[in-house]
Structure 1
Amino acid sequence: MNIWKAKVLTEVPFGHVLIVNGRCKPHPNKISLDLTDNVNAQNESETVFLKIEANFREGQIIRSMFQPGEGWQQEEISKNWKCDGPKNPLQPGQNFTFRVAVLQRCFEIYVNDQLYGSFEFLKFPKQINFVRVYGDFEKITQFHHRMLFPLVFPRSLILAGSDRVAFQSDVPRRYDAGTVVVMECIAKGLPNSEFSICFQCNDTGRSVLKFHVNFERTTVTRSYQREDNSFSTDDEETEGEFPFVRGKLFKIAFGLGDRAFLIAVNGQYFTYYNFSVRPFSISTLKCLTNEAGDFAVRSIEYHSDSPLLARVEKLSII
């Protein structure tokens, strides 16, 4: 069973939507998605405001919630609101998308971009801090947190490219100074595999930081995208060690300072990268790989407190 989690950057109030995209295993049993206040259940109880369980053997999707001291409640097993649609639209071996909109009295649930149903909550879920997916999926390839209105799709997600996108995520507001993005990842593939982690401006679509790892050359290159959308070797920085091993899990943290990114890998400070221009609107990241590589993000966390440097190192401890 795979487990994937995401910590949101900000609250998920009325009018926000959470989107998770992934790929089913060829022979799945169940895939579940939880919206919860805590994934560790340490020092405080865990409340699951919404659980969506896609059951392949029974061919249905179950919705429920969990309250500490009260257990699981409000279990609903009903057919798809879309009358001509299957009770479980997810297909073995195929991509899937869950989209959950937070409305005034309920969650509105979309499966594979089609309205599936709703789930009323007893009290407004103000403390959604985590999204957790577990079960028979191969990988998660998208995690987006957006506002329903105005419906803004960042240019960085619209612009097409020749690179292979392995994972992408955007948040409902720009990264402020002090924001830290933490990812637990694994890179597999042939000896000449590569991957990149790119932070992009949502208005221009350009990369403010391209963090590129080349296993064949054992180099980590930092660069940015110029106004003509090109990358130049004159802007590249490659100093530093090579802390990555193919097939081995790693944890990396990017902290947004006033003038630079601070980067730590597996609990150790790695480097910094100065902004070429002031990053007014960074809110999107993309992870890319080449044809020889296979890159997966196991978890992503957004943090927005300080002091910055100490937290970047601590948050990257694996």
Structure 2
Amino acid sequence: MLYFRVDFNFHEGAQRDADMPLHLSIRFDEGKLVYNTYKEGNWSENEQRIKNPFKPNEEFDLRVRIINGNYQVFANRVEVGSFQQRMPLDGVDHVSISGDLANLRLFHYGGRVFPNPYAAIAKVVPGKRLDVSALPTVVRNAMTNNVWGTEEREGGLPINKGEIFDLTIINEEFSFQIFMNGKRFAAFSHRGSPNDIETVEIDGTVEVLTVTVNDAVGV
């Protein structure tokens, strides 16, 4: 099966001709990633194009970050382009993904600017998972009574400087299962009760994009 185009749109309403402040089109037939807007029944003449970073018939990761009046576009966790926002997003109430897409594994909408250091209440009991997306030897440790334990450093550093990474920590009965970019990275055995976790804190040279606590139904 050949794949040609996948369109990602922000809509102001559910009507067929609703305005679109954001239209991204992954065009495998042209080898381009296209940005445009649609207003009052007309496409903007200012269509912007960059090289398509994706390959046909392969799984891909597309992320759009809206910041400082621009759309930052990330392809497979690497920034590939930035487009200036032309229309306000106040009226956006629908998102659509259409085209030659075999399977949509995950869709997440939302976000905010996180402070650094970041701290929040997070009841991560067994059966829960903590997901963190951020820009970065991964060290695991635990502190008890204000005393650090023995560090665990096996596994190297499976991320690159300047790239987005996804960190998932699943709290299981006997250990934390740690995943980097969807792949199992390490296990860290509990050194205290797994039911006593009340907060999450993120600090260091990193820009936090999203933090969520979910039921651990899969990675």
**TM-score of the two chains, using structure 2 as the length reference:** 0.52
The alpha carbon displacement at 1:101 in A equals 1.2
- Identity level (%): 20
Out of 34, 44, 51, which is 2:23 matched to? 51
Q: Which residue does the alignment assign to 1:148?
A: 113
Secondary structure in structure 2 of the residue aligned to 1:102: strand
Write out aligned runs for 1:125-136 (5 A).
Answer: 125-136=89-100
Rounded Cα–Cα distance in structure 1 between residues aligned with 2:35 and 2:62: 13
Q: Which residue does the alignment assign to 2:88?
A: 124
Write out aligned runs for 1:1-318 (5 A).
Answer: 27-38=2-13, 40-41=14-15, 46-69=18-41, 71-73=42-44, 74-78=46-50, 87-144=51-108, 145-150=110-115, 156-158=129-131, 228=194, 284=214, 288=218
Q: Which residue does the alignment assign to 1:251?
A: none
CA contact (8 A) 1:28 1:92 kept: yes
Distance 1:127 1:58, change over 3 A: same
The alpha carbon displacement at 1:122 in A equals 2.8
Distance 1:123 1:158, change over 3 A: closer
CA contact (8 A) 1:32 1:53 kept: yes
The alpha carbon displacement at 1:55 in A equals 0.7
Rounded Cα–Cα distance in structure 2 between residues aligned with 1:158 and 1:108: 21
Q: Which residue does the alignment assign to 1:254?
A: none
Rounded Cα–Cα distance in structure 1 between residues aligned with 2:111 and 2:38: 25
Secondary structure in structure 2 of the residue aligned to 1:96: coil
CA contact (8 A) 2:130 2:170 kept: no
CA contact (8 A) 2:170 2:216 kept: no
The alpha carbon displacement at 1:288 in A equals 4.8
Q: Structure 1, residues 48-78: CA drift from partner, whole Å, max 9, x if none?
A: 1111111111111111011124x11131123
More helix by share: 1
Q: What stretches of structure 1 of length at least 5 have no aligned partner?
A: 1-25, 79-86, 160-201, 207-226, 230-281, 290-318
> Residue type matched to 2:85 in 1?
F
Q: What stretches of structure 2 of length at least 5 have no aligned partner?
A: 133-167, 173-192, 196-211
Rounded Cα–Cα distance in structure 1 between residues aligned with 2:57 and 2:130: 24
Q: Which residue does the alignment assign to 1:315?
A: none
> Residue type matched to 2:24 in 1?
I
CA contact (8 A) 1:32 1:133 kept: yes
More strand by share: 1
The alpha carbon displacement at 1:121 in A equals 2.4
The alpha carbon displacement at 1:286 in A equals 6.4
Distance 1:136 1:157, change over 3 A: farther
> Residue type matched to 1:148 in 2?
V
CA contact (8 A) 1:105 1:124 kept: no
The alpha carbon displacement at 1:90 in A equals 1.3
CA contact (8 A) 1:109 1:116 kept: yes
Distance 1:157 1:133, change over 3 A: farther
Secondary structure in structure 1 of the residue aligned to 2:91: coil
CA contact (8 A) 1:108 1:118 kept: yes
Q: Structure 1, residues 214-260: CA drift from partner, whole Å, max 9, x if none?
A: xxxxxxxxxxxxx857xxxxxxxxxxxxxxxxxxxxxxxxxxxxxxx
> Residue type matched to 1:29 in 2?
F
Distance 1:110 1:204, change over 3 A: closer
RCO higher in 1 or 2 (8 Å CA, sep ≥ 6)?
1
* Range 118-127 or range 104-113, more displaced: 118-127
Rounded Cα–Cα distance in structure 2 between residues aligned with 1:203 and 1:112: 21
Q: Structure 1, residues 61-120: CA drift from partner, whole Å, max 9, x if none?
A: 111011124x11131123xxxxxxxx1111222221111111232211112111121222
Q: Which residue does the alignment assign to 1:253?
A: none
